[in-house]
């Protein structure tokens, strides 16, 4: 209805689909891997391909120190992101009204360039 091509969905296990199915440059990635290994696979494949100022959203990224209401039923997501990015983490906790847990990583923009 917006005359836009919908996003491409690749069904299957992350380690089987991601390596051969991603474009060379990604503007927006939404990872909903639930577990440590699948989240880490997605991060390893997507982060290097993010365009400058590209965004990566992590579903179930529960940082209860920042968002005490966040549901922390899938702790592998945050653990994988922490292992991938190190500390301090560049992942921003997105806080809402309920118990949803999301994190956002924005790809850096090289100095002197516009996104």
Vertex 110 angle, CA 106 and 112, to 5°: 130
Least Cα distance to 45 among 71, 17, 77, 67 occurs for 17
- CA 71 to CA 27: how far, in whole Å? 27
The pLDDT assigned to 108 comes to: 94
pLDDT tens string 77-98: 999 999 999 989 999 999 888 8
Q: Is the pLDDT of residue 8 over 90?
A: no
- What residue ranges do the domains of the chain occupy? 27-106
The pLDDT assigned to 36 comes to: 97
The pLDDT assigned to 81 comes to: 97
Least Cα distance to 53 among 102, 99, 110 occurs for 110
pLDDT tens string 57-73: 999 999 999 999 999 99
The pLDDT assigned to 111 comes to: 84
The pLDDT assigned to 92 comes to: 96
Helix axes 76-85, 36-46, angle to 10 degrees: 40
- CA 74 to CA 39: how far, in whole Å? 11
Q: How far is CA 95 from the centre of its chain?
A: 15
- pLDDT, mean over the chain: 91
- CA 28 to CA 79: how far, in whole Å? 22
For the ranges 19-23, 75-79, 95-99, 107-111, the lowest mean pLDDT is seen at 19-23
């Amino acid at each position: 209805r917006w005359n836009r091509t919908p996003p491409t969905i690749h069904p299957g296990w992350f380690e089987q689909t991601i390596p051969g199915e991603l474009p060379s440059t990604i503007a927006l990635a939404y990872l909903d891997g639930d577990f440590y290994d699948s989240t880490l696979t997605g991060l390893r494949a997507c982060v290097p391909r993010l365009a400058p100022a590209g965004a990566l959203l992590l579903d179930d990224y529960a940082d209860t120190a920042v968002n005490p209401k966040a549901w922390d039923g899938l702790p592998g997501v945050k653990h994988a992101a922490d292992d991938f990015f190190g500390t301090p983490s560049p992942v921003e906790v997105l806080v809402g009204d309920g118990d949803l847990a999301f994190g956002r990583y924005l790809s850096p923009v090289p100095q002197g360039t516009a996104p």
